[in-house]
Amino acid sequence: MKPTLKWIARILGGLVVVLLIAGFTMFMIGGSNAGKTYELPDVVLNVSDDSSSVAHGAHLANTLGCTDCHAEDLSGQELFDAPPFRVVAPNLTPAGLGGQRTDAQLEHTIRHGVAGDGTSVIIMPSAAFHGLADEDVSALISYIRSVSPIENNPGTTEIKLMGKLLSVGPFDPGFEVNLDASPTAKPEAGITSEYGAYLFGTVCHYCHGENGQGMEVPPIPESPPAPSLAAAGNWPLDQFISTIRTGVTPAGRQIDNDFMPFEVFGQMTDAELAALHAYAATF
């Protein structure tokens, strides 16, 4: 072999070794990031089988999207399986996590994004629910405890090789984790901007920003920027409610339910939507 070709072969061989070492290092670091654990104090909740608490919890499960991801009967399902991740919404009935997790563990997952083993939930939008007050998260857990046990094992969320490599840089496995304390109380329910602000802070802020100013939505692949809601606050109340319920704006534009799940939020009561409208009018 000519000297030049030998040098090229050596250089290429060296590059292969470097790439293998870099890939292994990224895999190890990414796996460590994905396996990071978090500690949270246990919050005392009022979880009960009281019919009003269970009914309120059922309403929250529908309007927060729990039944959208975990299936209508909460028995769980696979959401998608792609090269980076296999994402599963687990069985929440008493035959699944609802019977395997303590109230504190469920609260850690719902409001803080921390799974029962202390790791991040990865995909579940817990950051959206961090603002739920104790009363509401208690009702939600009360409902989970009350549903019929269903034997279904959809598997578990899995971070694959590509996901672990991405966890070194562009993807943060802990992006849903929020270790700050959640609110212990909420404003009195009513058609007020104060109660609307509370409702907004339990889910809407996740995409539209803390003050409804709109924002990019990096956790959701291919999602368009979520718009400011200032204009919506100026719509007549009936048009605001109609938009949330049907997904059609006053200008006749059809909202994409994949990115703005109006079919979920449209299950809120007229009074809740009126409160949201009152808050949007303050933007």
What local confidence, expressed as pLDDT, does residue 167 receive?
65
The pLDDT tens digits for 60-119 are 999 999 999 999 999 999 998 888 888 899 999 999 999 999 999 999 999 999 999 999
What local confidence, expressed as pLDDT, does residue 117 receive?
93
- pLDDT of residue 13 exceeding 50, the answer is no
Q: Provide mean pLDDT across the span 187-205.
A: 97
Task: Give the rounded distance of the alpha carbon of 183 from its chain centre.
Answer: 18
More confident of the two residues 21 and 134? 134
User: CATH for 51-157?
Assistant: 1.10.760
User: CATH for 193-280?
Assistant: 1.10.760
How far apart CA 230 and CA 200 sit, in angstroms, is 13
- pLDDT of residue 24 exceeding 50, the answer is no
Name every residue whose Cβ is closer than 8 Å to that of residue 134 and which is 6 or more positions away in sequence.
43, 45, 46, 182, 183, 184, 185
The pLDDT tens digits for 224-248 are 889 999 999 999 999 999 999 999 9
- pTM for the model stands at 0.84
DSSP letters for 203-228: IIHHHH-TTS--B--TTSTTPPPBPP
Domain extent listing, the chain: 51-157, 193-280
H or E segment and range at residue 81 = strand 77-81
Say whether 193-280 and 51-157 share the same fold: yes
